[in-house]
Amino acid sequence: MRGPPVPEALTYQDVALQHDAATAPAVGPVSLHLCVGERVLLMGPSGAGKSTLLHAATGLFPVSIGGARHGEIVLNGRPVDSRRPADWADTCGYLFQDAAQTLAGFTVRDEIAFGPENRGVDPAEIHDFVALSMRRVGIPETWADRRITALSGGERQLVALAALLAQGAPVTLADEPAASLAPMAARRMAELLLAPGCTAMVVEHKPGPILDHVDRCIALGAGGRVMVEVPPRDVVERHGEALAEAGIALPLATRLHTAWPDLIDPRLPLSRALRRVVPAHADRLRAAILPDPIEAGPELVTLDRAACAPPFGPVVLRDVSLTVRAGEVLAILGPNGAGKSTLAGCLAGLVPLKAGTRKGAPGAVAFQNPEAHFSRESVRAEIEGLGHGPEVTGRILADWSLDRVADQHPFTLSQGQKRRLALALIAEAGRWPLLILDEPTAGLDGGTEAALARRIRELAREGRGIAVSTHDMDFALAVADRAVLLDRGGVEFCGSCPDLMRDRARLTRAGLLPPEAAPVLDWLDAAC
């Protein structure tokens, strides 16, 4: 017997969205809906129009973001055009991709109070709203008077979440909310944002950690059309191959099942599925989660008892002794604000040390903000600026999947495309023996991330030394031979990357979580 129909919180009916000056729609036409009390995961490759679709829900697109919309959007039973975008704040709350650039208040308290103030909440009650939201997110009370500018990127994202909760809108739209969060904070974010009974649509490039928290998954294809719309279990069981082909990152169990359908049952938790695997398959599983070994060459850069500080700032890391060799990939791991980006600058020799010594050739850093690397009028011009001939330029554009946007201005690319271009500019220059990639996977879809991992190993095989600063433990495990864990102002661990990933206690102390592949590591230990 069917229950009563669940009202729809948000409906897109044949919606197509086209940005000003674009020649084709960014997304659509699509028809989809979000029911009251339903949690939907929206997936898709970079540039599929997911963010644009979210912006259109309250009319921000095309009222405030220039463009054209065809089709109808209904929010909470009313056409979206019937109110101004700001009026919908009582119904729909946003969590934006880059919290650092969208916070309004001067202090944490101001920021969280912003939503209730705009709603006209009784001033006497605003403090309670603020305190409750901080408690729910786990923000310490001592943060209330901290300036927003003094927070790290991940901390700002947590404050943005608290502000969203204080806003109290019944529908939540979140655009990659966990992209800059350490794993434990990301899990907390998913638990709060996608608690049972919440009405939420979340865009996420890495659906693995949140699949258990959603009721339905919608995947957009590269053309901005709905490709798959199914419950999460069907994503794993029936559509893994198609989604992987479209460049969407899938949970490890699904990827293993797609590669070896006879080996892994995707319906079981990975640790249970592995019990049925015989030890003879150890090499295949090892190759699936760990990088091919590369013989390390001479030392490229050495830090000895270094004190590292951001440019013109105070020391954040002390007594750092570290070596990167040719042919080696080093993962730099740590919680938000641990000093990973600072270490990246010091390793490259861009930022002078406050104490200690650095020996070795200069390195290049691919910054977190890819736009810092762009200085020319088109993607092609940027690549041509590396000084290669037309043939090599064409090859680089194709290798980094930038050929279709070669004539676009770099600033008009999607976040994933920008990051690919920035990495290509660093990696293909051939000038630096040491490359440091700062959060290289942020904003990348599954296909591009896998290609990046392969490219990193190729560069290491060519004799480059590579350091990767990341929150993504599985990516670190997939590319890095060694890992350095930063916490409490220093180096907490420096050694084999798989060894660190097995050390759950150490990771937990640093606010990190073991990778998705941890059960496979355990299985390999037991089998070999």
**Six-digit token pair at 166?**
């204080």
**Six-digit token pair at 100?**
């650092």
Residue 350 lies near other proteins (rule: CB under 8 A): yes
Residue 278 lies near other proteins (rule: CB under 8 A): no
Which of positions 147-176 make contact with other proteins (CB under 8 A)? Answer: 147-149, 163, 167
Window 402-441: contact mask with other proteins (x via CB under 8 A): ---------x-------------------xx---------
Closest CA to 85 of 58, 120, 115: 58
Residue 123 lies near other proteins (rule: CB under 8 A): yes
Residue 459 lies near other proteins (rule: CB under 8 A): no
Alpha helices in 239-307 (DSSP H): 240-245, 252-259, 270-275, 282-289
Which range in 2-10, 209-217, 325-333, 343-351 contacts other proteins by CB under 8 A? Answer: 343-351
Residue 384 lies near other proteins (rule: CB under 8 A): no
Residues 226 and 246 sit within 8 Å (Cβ to Cβ):
no
In the complex with other proteins, the residue whose CB is nearer, 83 or 509, is 83
Residues 307 and 315 sit within 8 Å (Cβ to Cβ):
yes
Closest CA to 406 of 395, 455, 415: 395
Of 98, 428, 472, 481, the one binding other proteins (CB under 8 A) is 98
In the complex with other proteins, the residue whose CB is nearer, 118 or 508, is 118
Residue 124 lies near other proteins (rule: CB under 8 A): yes
DSSP 463: T
Residue 33 lies near other proteins (rule: CB under 8 A): no
In the complex with other proteins, the residue whose CB is nearer, 172 or 448, is 172
For other proteins (CB under 8 A), the number of binding residues is 65
Min CB(162)–other proteins separation in Å: 13
**CA 267: distance to chain centroid?**
26
Of 70, 78, 127, 284, the one binding other proteins (CB under 8 A) is 127
Residue 463 lies near other proteins (rule: CB under 8 A): no
Strand-pair category, 329-333 with 482-487: parallel
Distances from the Cα of 427 to the Cαs of 130, 414, 456, 459, 477, in angstroms?
A: 45, 20, 9, 8, 21
Which of positions 294-323 make contact with other proteins (CB under 8 A)? Answer: 311-312
Of 42, 309, 348, 402, the one binding other proteins (CB under 8 A) is 348
Which range in 23-31, 104-112, 486-494, 516-524 contacts other proteins by CB under 8 A? Answer: 104-112
**Six-digit token pair at 365?**
């850093």
In the complex with other proteins, the residue whose CB is nearer, 97 or 258, is 97
Residue 372 lies near other proteins (rule: CB under 8 A): yes
Min CB(119)–other proteins separation in Å: 6
Name the one residue in this structure whose structure tokens are 């991709």: 97
Supply φ then ψ for residue 57, to 5 degrees: -60, -35
Residue 349 lies near other proteins (rule: CB under 8 A): yes
Residue 364 lies near other proteins (rule: CB under 8 A): yes
State in Å, rounded, how far the first CA of the chain is from the last one: 52
Measured distance CA(345)–CA(419) in Å, rounded:
18
Residues 92 and 57 sit within 8 Å (Cβ to Cβ):
yes
Of 25, 39, 56, 94, the one binding other proteins (CB under 8 A) is 94
Alpha helices in 138-278 (DSSP H): 153-167, 183-193, 232-238, 240-245, 252-259, 270-275
